[in-house]
Amino acid sequence: MRKDPLVTDLQSTSLKPLRHKLAFHFDPQEVGRQLSQITRLEPVFASGTGKENLGVNYDLADLCAMGVLLGSDLNAEDATNKLISVLDRTSKLAVHFTNQSETFIVAKLEKSGWQII
């Protein structure tokens, strides 16, 4: 099976560090590093609307995650361009994954006797 360059690049440069430092494995030193780099922004810890706990956004945690995802300081001049690039690659991966999944499901259904119209 060949590995898709988009997947391997995104996984190694953005997703793996995010997973290993903030999302699934909490690294307090990384959080401290990210918080210390947020100097030009005035972050809000959490925000939301209404009286229910349904629409809460943890803005400060999101900024830390973005810093890890980008692999750079959010204050850097190229941070916006890096974020656009990561989001673009992630969107392309999601579309590619969805298309491949659909193709796989259709092939399995047809093999099982289903007629695709």
Given this model, what pLDDT does residue 104 score? 95
CB 46 within 8 A of CB 63: no
96: closest CA among 5, 12, 1?
A: 5
pLDDT level of residue 2 (50, 70, 90 thresholds): low
Q: How confident is the model at residue 28 (pLDDT cuts 50, 70, 90)?
A: confident
- Look at 25 and 108; give whichever has higher pLDDT: 108
Question: How many angstroms separate the CA atoms of 12 and 20, rounded?
Answer: 11
pLDDT grade for 1, boundaries at 50, 70 and 90:
low
| Tens of pLDDT, residues 52-94 | 888 888 888 888 888 888 887 787 888 889 889 888 988 998 9
Domain ranges of the chain: 5-111
